[in-house]
Structure formats: C-alpha cells, structure tokens
Chains A and B, each alone.
Chain A
Amino acid sequence: MEKVILVRYGEIALKGLNKSFFIDMLLKNIKASLKGLNGVKLEKIQGRFIIRVALEDFDRALDLLRKVFGIVSISEAKAFPNDFEQIKRVAVNMMECINEDTTFKVEARRANKGFSLTSMEINNEVGGHLLDNNQYLKVDVKKPEVKLYIEVREKTYMYSSILQGLGGLPVGCSGKGVLMLSGGIDSPVAGYLMAKRGVEIIAVHFHSFPYTSERARDKVIKLTEIMQDYTGPIKLYIVSFTDIQQELLLSCNERYTTLLMRRIMMKIAERIAIAEEAKALISGESLAQVASQTMESLIVTDNAVELPVYRPLIGMDKNEIIDISQKIDTFETSILPYEDCCTVFVPKHPETRPKLEKILIDEQKIDIEHLIQESINTAEIITM
C-alpha cells in the first residue's frame, strides 16, 4: 500500500478534441511546479493524475498543487491492489482515528468493471464492516460528517477528504499576455486572474529612477517571484521611463500628463507583446478607482493600442482586490512604501473626463516614436 495524491481536473476535460492538449499542458505545469521535490512520479489515468512523491515532501507537494491552475481538487489517497479483503481492512484503518460519535457514508465508484462487486455492493459491504468494527460510527447517507471514498480502477484508491484546487485552465493553453506590473496591489491580482484563464504572463514594469528607487524595482521583482507560484515562469521587462516622464512634464499640458504617460506605457507594452507573440495586454485598472481609470480616460488609453486590453479587475471594489492579493500573498509586498510613481509626476488637478482629440493634439508635441524606441532598446529583461 502506498500514499499518493489524486489530482482531478474539471473544465479541461470538457474541451473535446483539444482535450489532450490541455491535459499535456497541465501535466507539464504540474511537473514544473513540483520540480525540486524528491521522488516525484506522475501517472496519467482515466480522468485523473496520480502523483507519487517522497514522504518528506508530501505536504509541500499538496501546497504547491493547490496553486496550479487547471486542477479542480486533490486528495491524499491510499493506493493498493484490487482486493476486497484489503479494501475492508484499509477502510477500518482509515476510520480508526474516529473515537466519538460520528455519522458517515461510503462512496464507492467502480470504474474497473472487471471488479466483482458493483459500486452499490461495495458501499453496503464496506459500510457494514465499518459499523461492526468501530462503535462510534453511524450511517447517514444524506448529510454525513465523514465520507469515505473508494475508487476501484486498475488499483483501488481510498481517501476521506477532497481539497479544492484553484480551477481555471492550465497556464499557457490560452496564449500569452503582457501584464503592466506597477508594484501596487492591483496589477499582480490582474496577472493572477488572467493566468487562471490559461494566459502565460509576460510582465513589464516602468521604472523611473531616480524618481523611484532601486527598492521599487526590487519590490517588483519580489512580486513577480510570488506570482510565479501560480503563473509559472514570468519574463519580466524593466523599462526605464524617466526620460519620457521628464519630456511629458516639460512639453505637455500638466492635466494630461498621467493619461499621456498611460498611453505611452500601453504602446510600449504592445511593442513587447508583438515581439513576444502575445495576443493581449493586461492591466490592473478598476473602473473609476483613480482619475486615469474613468470611462472617458479608458477610451483615451485604449485608443493608444490595437491589441485588446484585458482588465479583469474592472468591476471589482478595492476590498475585493485586496482579498485576492492577500490570498495569493502579494499584498504584504505590494504595500511596501516604495512608490511606483513619484509625486513630482502626479498632476495637482488631473483630467477625469478627457477628450481624446485634445489628448492626441498634446501628444504630438513630443517625439513619441523616438522615446518609445529608446526605452525598448534599453529595457532590462529578467527571466526568473
């Protein structure tokens, strides 16, 4: 008898002809996630993965698997040959720890039709055997406190709990997207949510040294590292934005500087997306959270690029965003005091209802193409 992890995937099993593509992608992601653990062995069976891992790394494996998109749930299971006497022994053994009155139910599933008992028969036989051997157990088929699951396949798998996974789609199966990663609370959450829908994340951070410090850059690298538990490896572009900001400040209407800045960031992100064969930009904007995120402002920023901009947080309140960032552990790092944008560049009275035509006229005051090219040429690329 051995201890294994049973991995279930839901949505991806429904995708018809693409099924094997999704499953292979998930398997690859699981392998990458468990890299570094001892004794990892993956096995593909009907509708499930069976994972074996060295005992000392077992709990760590459970934690890591719960961060892999595409996994619906996992169970820690006992695996052994299909022998009914052994099934009964293991069942008693698994319930041994129950020593006060508890209701239970056996839920058997006979996938292996060669096994002599039907699912119903297994339920009845094992249930009866448990009642005979543990005085605290009482049957309740409607709302049991404990369920004992028995799956009879080419082997028998027995377990009593199901841990929820994150669901979603395996990262990479949808394509690539370029995430604008500021270092605040929102953008890592946006990246997380799109990765959940199978998007491989490429991140771009705009750095404006000396207006922001080395620590701001370091913070973004840390955030990227945390996100990678969920998204898999992220390629991070760090683009120097100082010259562009200074140019905007000197040449353009102060009320528009933030919007012009956002437009240029979008354009740079789009160039990177094209080079990386990504199909969308991803941003952490939430409607009307700040001046540059009003409906009017979003018209202005969207107009800067041709690729679609995914804004998974658009309808979320700050508190909902914070909840997710705490869940994925980026919050503590996001709130470190190193700013992603210095106060010098924040207009005193930013435009909240901008007119696109006026912005476009203002934008022509600077040599955008040159500035964009320059910052892309000098971008630093970090592959983690």
Chain B
Amino acid sequence: MIYLDNSATTRVDEDVINIMNLYHSINYGNPSSLHRMGLAAEKALDTARIQLASLLGVDNKTIYFLSGGTEGNNLAISSAISKNKRLGNKLITTKIEHPSVLEVFRHFSTCGYEVCYLDVDRSGFINTNQLEEVLSEETIVVSIMKVNNEIGCIQNLKRIGEIVKKKSPQCIIHSDCVQALGKVPLKPILDGIDILTFSGHKFHGPKGSGGIYVNKELNLKTHTFGGGQERGLRSGTENVPAIVGMGMAAEIISKDFEVVTDHIKKLKSYTMELMCQQIEDIEFNSKDDDNFAPHILSVSIKDIKSEILLHLLENKDIFISSGSACSSKKKSGSHVLKSMNLSQDSIEGSLRISFSKYNNASEVEYTIMVIKEAVGSLRKYIRR
C-alpha cells in the first residue's frame, strides 16, 4: 500500500499507539478524580501540554486541548469575535480557508458582521495591498491560514500581522495552522499570531485530538459549560489517551523536524521532476520553493478527470486525493483552485499528492509509473 494522502490524515506513530494503549487500559483515570489515578491522568495532560508548548515555543499555559481542527477553528473565531464585539463589526479572512473557518464566518455574516474574503493570486497568495485597503479600525478579527491544505502555499503571517496591528491594534489574529504544524517552522510569537489551531491526526497523532494556542493576554470566554476543564474554556472530560498521544507525536516532531522536512521536501521535488519527464501536458499548482509547504503537491493533468485517476490508483493500492468529484449533475470542484482562477478543466484534472516521513523514493517512482500508464489509457478515451 502506498499512502500519499497525508494532508487528509496521517498514519499514527508506533510510539504514539503504545502510549495511548497505556492510557486506555491501565492509566485510564479521570483527571478530575481526587484519587491517585486521577492525578496520574492530570500529570499526563501536563506533560502533553509541555510537549505541544515547547514545539510551538510558547508558555504551556497558552495551550488548550480540544477535539480537533474544526472545534479549534470554531472556538477560536467565535470567541475572538465575541471578545472584540464592542470594538467593531468587520471581519477579514481569505477565500481559500478550510470550511471549518469559512462556515464560521458565513454564520457571523448573517448576524450583522461584515466579512471580507480576501482574493488570492494564481499561486494562492493574498495581496497585502488588498488587506491594507479593506482593513479599518473596526476590523476586530482576521483569520488567515498558514499553510493551505490543497496546494501548500504559505502565507506571510509575520508581514500580515504587522499590517493588521498597525491599523487596528486590538484586532485578534487567528491562524488555522492544521497543515503547518510539523511541516514548516511555526512560532506564533514570531509570526504575531494571537490564536492558532492545530490538529493531532495531521502529524501522526490520533484523530479526535487537537487544540489551540491562545496568546496569554487574551481572556477568551467559553461556549461550553460544565465541569470547567481546560481552565474553563472547554468543559468535558479530557480525551486523555488522545491528548497524550498527540503530545508524544509533537515530541517526535521536535526531535527530528529538520530530517523529516528535508526528506519530504526531496520527495516532492523528485515527484515533480519525474512527472515533468514522464507525463505530458501537466501543470503544477504548487511550487518547489520555500513559499510552499514541503508535503503538498497539487498538479493538474490535462484531459483527465482526476477522480477516475484516483480510483485507478486505489485499484493499485495507491491512495491520493482529487480536487474534484466526477459529477455530471453539477460543476463541482475545489473552492481553493477556483479562487486561484484555474479553468474548470484544470480543476477537474487536479490531483493532490501529499507526503509524510513514511514515504520513500521508490514509492514515488512506482506511483508515477502507474499514473503515467493510467493517464495514457484514459486519454485514449477522452482524446478520441
């Protein structure tokens, strides 16, 4: 099996599974219990918090554990808006955010808030001039993702932060960093990010784990009431095994970050090189430079409906993602690629290959060989 869909989710590390088992079967206490087992669970959460905090270079009191990226984005944006609601009613985000961000803004746009969705250029980057133009003192929340999940472009958050704070010093800057953590250097303090979302299963941790970093100065109000866990921000018995697992995954990243990112960067370059040599009429939507994350490669293959290619590949036990579903009823396709102004054909022919440390060069070679063959035979039926 060759798994090249690591932007969707990742394989859980062996050490992560082992430690999770321990917290499922032996140390399964509730952190709120007064006895020794409860204390052990609480200590385990502390450790995980330190592991995440040290990876992000922040104080461990700034880390809150949640159920994943979607809850993180929802909680971050709505709490930020409710905190700043007296200062104005303008919100800014981009057209290429994940649905768990876009839908939150769509909701607030029906509640009297004015939302600006920033355009992106052909490579997926926002234009800071446009940001400057739409910013005002009434702008209370800006949410811009660090790494895009479909093409991998990295927004310059440091620059964005400077522009925002200059115009609207109290504005809260949130960044969906679900695809960034473990793949690109990520220090929220250096980037000027006030709230940052992460998700465990994107970096070899378990599904159902995730959280947010919140700048110490911010005092977010909760939407979930109950036992007061996570310092009152998110009540509900902590998912201890998942959190412990995610902590372990974060620690593994801290240890071998450079080796791993270097490895996947090379795999991506190699894939692009082989595709260029072997497959005609393709167009890369991701670039091979420092402005793009090393693990995501989006490519459009001419005259191919990528969903068909996806199914042909799965038949050979190769798993990738497509930018569009093969639908005769409506024009479907990625909102990200649409925002980048790709043609409908390029969107329908777009493939996303995403790498992890578990992939290697021979997997890439085999995959490209299969794609080449599949493209050849599919084009036979399309280019009649």
- Is the CB of A344 closer than 8 A to any CB of chain B? yes
**Given A211-B326, A339-B326, also A344-B382 (CB < 8 A):** yes
**CB contact between A250 and one of B305, B308, B312, B381 (< 8 Å): that residue:** B381
- The docked-state distance in angstroms from the alpha carbon of A249 to that of B326 is 18
**CB contact between A342 and one of B308, B312, B315, B380 (< 8 Å): that residue:** B308
**Given A210-B311, A213-B311, also A344-B305 (CB < 8 A):** yes
- The docked-state distance in angstroms from the alpha carbon of A214 to that of B314 is 10
Q: Which residues from chain B contact A212 at a C-beta distance below 8 Å? A: 311, 326
Contact A209 B311 (CB under 8 A): yes
B364-384 contact mask (Cβ, 8 Å, vs A): 1 or 0: 000000000000000011101
**B56–chain A nearest beta-carbon distance, Å:** 38
Q: Which residues from chain B contact A337 at a C-beta distance below 8 Å? A: 325, 327, 329, 332
- Is the CB of B307 closer than 8 A to any CB of chain A? yes
**Residues from 307 to 333 in B contacting A, C-beta threshold 8 Å:** 307-312, 314-315, 325-329, 332
Q: Which residues from chain B contact A213 at a C-beta distance below 8 Å? A: 307, 311
- The docked-state distance in angstroms from the alpha carbon of A250 to that of B379 is 11
Q: Which residues from chain A contact B329 at a C-beta distance below 8 Å? A: 337, 339
- Range of interface residues on chain A? 10 to 19
**Given A210-B312, A213-B307, also A341-B328 (CB < 8 A):** yes
Contact B305 A343 (CB under 8 A): yes
Total of A-B residue pairs, C-beta within 8 Å: 48
**Residues from 290 to 313 in B contacting A, C-beta threshold 8 Å:** 305, 307-312
**A90–chain B nearest beta-carbon distance, Å:** 51
B307: nearest chain-A partner, CB-CB = A213
**A321–chain B nearest beta-carbon distance, Å:** 16
**Given A341-B328, A342-B326, A343-B328, also A249-B308 (CB < 8 A):** no
- The docked-state distance in angstroms from the alpha carbon of A255 to that of B309 is 25
- Is the CB of A135 closer than 8 A to any CB of chain B? no
Contact A346 B311 (CB under 8 A): no
**B181–chain A nearest beta-carbon distance, Å:** 31
- Range of interface residues on chain B? 10 to 19
Contact A342 B381 (CB under 8 A): no
Contact B308 A210 (CB under 8 A): yes
**Given A209-B311, A209-B315, A213-B311, also A249-B384 (CB < 8 A):** yes
- The docked-state distance in angstroms from the alpha carbon of A341 to that of B382 is 15
**Given A339-B327, A342-B328, A343-B328, also A249-B381 (CB < 8 A):** yes
- The docked-state distance in angstroms from the alpha carbon of A344 to that of B312 is 15
Q: Which residues from chain A contact B382 at a C-beta distance below 8 Å? A: 344
**Given A213-B307, A343-B305, also A250-B328 (CB < 8 A):** no
Contact B328 A211 (CB under 8 A): no
- The docked-state distance in angstroms from the alpha carbon of A212 to that of B327 is 10
B332: nearest chain-A partner, CB-CB = A337
Contact B328 A210 (CB under 8 A): no
**Given A209-B315, A210-B311, also A346-B381 (CB < 8 A):** no
Q: Which residues from chain A contact B312 at a C-beta distance below 8 Å? A: 210
- The docked-state distance in angstroms from the alpha carbon of A355 to that of B128 is 62
**CB contact between B381 and one of A209, A214, A344 (< 8 Å): that residue:** A344
- The docked-state distance in angstroms from the alpha carbon of A210 to that of B309 is 7
- The docked-state distance in angstroms from the alpha carbon of A342 to that of B381 is 12
A321-363 contact mask (Cβ, 8 Å, vs B): 1 or 0: 0000000000000000101011110100000000000000000
**B229–chain A nearest beta-carbon distance, Å:** 37
- Is the CB of A164 closer than 8 A to any CB of chain B? no
A243-270 contact mask (Cβ, 8 Å, vs B): 1 or 0: 0001001100010000000000000000
Q: List 8 additional contacts besides A210-B311, A214-B314; criterion CB under 8 Å.
A: A210-B309, A213-B311, A254-B384, A337-B327, A337-B329, A339-B327, A339-B329, A346-B328
Can you name 14 A-B residue pairings with CB atoms under 8 Å?
A: A209-B315, A210-B312, A212-B311, A212-B326, A214-B311, A249-B384, A250-B381, A254-B384, A337-B332, A339-B328, A339-B329, A343-B326, A343-B328, A346-B328
